[in-house]
Amino acid sequence: MRRWVIALIAACGAVGVANAQTYRPDFDPSQLKGPKAGAHNELVVLGSPHLSGLPANFQPANLASLIGRLQAWRPRAIAIEALSGQQCDFLRRYPARYADTIKSYCVDTAPARAATGLDVPTAVAEADRLLANWSAVPAPGQRRRLAAVFLAAGEPASALVQWLRLPGAERHPGDGLDTVLVARLEALRTRHDESLLIAAPLAAALGLERVYPMDDHTADGPIGDEKAYEVAITHAWDNPATARRTAIDKALDEKLDSAAGILAMYRAYNAPGMGKLVFDSDFGAALEEPSPQKFGREYLAYWETRNLRMASNIRDMLSKHPGIRALVIVGASHKGYLEAYLNQMHDVDLVDAGKLLQ
């Protein structure tokens, strides 16, 4: 009898595993798009290299053709891979966990606070107040003031949008901008960062007042054995798919000294099949990483959590502007995940970025 019970339990366990592997929920939000009357949200996710990592032959002027194609689609909201001032304010409350994240991803708002008297929460509220009562034709002083407030709120890309919308002769200290903040805004204009060289000039050209930071690093945290973790993940990345990605990047990098080369790079990063190649090279390889500590699974969990929270921030942006066209500019490895998650949203229709890049 005892043997029979053990066999039955084992069989039930096997059935349970099989069911877990084959079960598919019958509710699929992606198949329930709406509303039936009225405009859906149209969303493009543009996978981008991080411009700070491009070789010396990259020239920002060659982005003009790319920006022109994005402008022709006329998005009315632009999201960027950056942390909001609110999130950085939250992270600073937990330095034991987030000290490295703060150092890497959060801007120093102290100079803007000194110039404006606003801490981050107060500056965020003030930016919302100003935009809620924004004039159709704001005076230059109003733009300088909003730029200063955005810097105090920890949103430099939105501050740069206001700076770029000013005529050249009006880009000077005043209305909350001191000489330190003006110098910072001028430095932001040329920094090799896709949020600053693509998103902010595009927003300014489209007549938008801001961009929306949507990155999330709340899943960051200390790793028990950092050296062993690094060895395990690096070993997982050593695979044929990574070799293929490296070869693609090398060929693309050689042509970055022209506008045609820039477009070729963005077309490649947003081409069909790139998401799967990224998975095979990186996250899929981590999923199968065999360390006893399951470092690969830890890394994958972090990555999926981060992308889910990024997707929720983008969804929140769309909730404020139902029925618009929106553009997300994000590191290319995020693109496949964000598209998959955002496609589940009922009133979000994805648009192929490749069509904009033709």
In a domain, 341, yes or no: yes
pLDDT over 70 percentage in the chain: 94
Mean pLDDT of 239-252: 97
Q: Give the total number of structural domains in the chain.
A: 2
In a domain, 252, yes or no: yes
**Are 327 and 78 spatial neighbours (Cβ–Cβ below 8 Å)?**
yes
In a domain, 3, yes or no: no
Indicate whether 233 and 209 sit together in one domain. no
Mean pLDDT of 26-45: 96
In a domain, 58, yes or no: no
In a domain, 346, yes or no: yes
pLDDT in tens, 40-88: 999 999 999 999 999 999 999 999 999 999 999 999 999 999 999 999 9
**The pLDDT value given to residue 5:** 44
Confidence class of residue 19 from pLDDT cuts 50, 70 and 90?
low
Q: 3: part of which helix (H) or strand (E)?
A: helix 2-22
**The pLDDT value given to residue 20:** 61
Torsional sign, CA 139, 140, 141, 145: positive
In a domain, 250, yes or no: yes
Answer with the one of 185, 213, 241 that is the final residue of a domain: 213
**The pLDDT value given to residue 21:** 74
Indicate whether 328 and 270 sit together in one domain. yes
The whole-angstrom separation of Cα 358 and Cα 337 is 23
Indicate whether 272 and 154 sit together in one domain. no
HSE-CB at 334 with a 13 A cutoff on CA atoms is 28
**The pLDDT value given to residue 69:** 98
The whole-angstrom separation of Cα 97 and Cα 315 is 27
Is the per-residue pLDDT at 11 higher than 70? no
The whole-angstrom separation of Cα 116 and Cα 113 is 5
pLDDT in tens, 219-233: 999 998 999 999 999
The whole-angstrom separation of Cα 109 and Cα 84 is 12
In a domain, 26, yes or no: no
5's tokens: 């019970």
Mean pLDDT of 97-121: 97
In the block, tokens 């105090």 appear at 152
Indicate whether 293 and 262 sit together in one domain. yes
Mean pLDDT of 254-264: 97
Instruction: Provide the CA 318 distance to its chain's centre, in angstroms.
Output: 15
Residues of the domain holding 348: 226-356
